[in-house]
Amino acid sequence: MRKDDTANLGAANRTFLVLLALTFVTFFAGESHVEGVLLSGMVLGVALLKGHLLGEHFMGLARVRGVWRWIVVIWLFFPAMLIGTTFVLAAR
């Protein structure tokens, strides 16, 4: 039990740092002169990655077996598809 927690904490620590770093990526992408599908695509991808990491290591879904593990992934997928599609269509 203890060992389990320590290991998870390690994952959480790493996740925390990655999330902070990715946040800056998103921010600076927004400040740069990149626009349109390139910007949207990249930022959306980063957001999905962040959401997934948060679900896995903060919410603790990484340890869950069975359907419930995929709650966050499924949730991220559908709006992301729609958002992605509309941004591509809008850019044309």
In the complex, minimum distance from the CB of residue 33 to another protein, in angstroms, rounded to a whole number? 12
In the complex, minimum distance from the CB of residue 65 to another protein, in angstroms, rounded to a whole number? 4
Distance CA 14, CA 42 (A): 22
Distance CA 21, CA 26 (A): 9
Distance CA 71, CA 15 (A): 19
In the complex, minimum distance from the CB of residue 31 to another protein, in angstroms, rounded to a whole number? 7
CB-CB contact of 48 with 76 (8 Å): yes
Q: Which residues bind another protein (CB under 8 A)?
A: 1-5, 7-12, 15-16, 19-20, 23-24, 26-27, 29-31, 35-36, 39-40, 43-44, 46-47, 50-51, 54-55, 57-66, 68-69, 71-72, 75-76, 78-79, 82-83, 86-87, 89-90
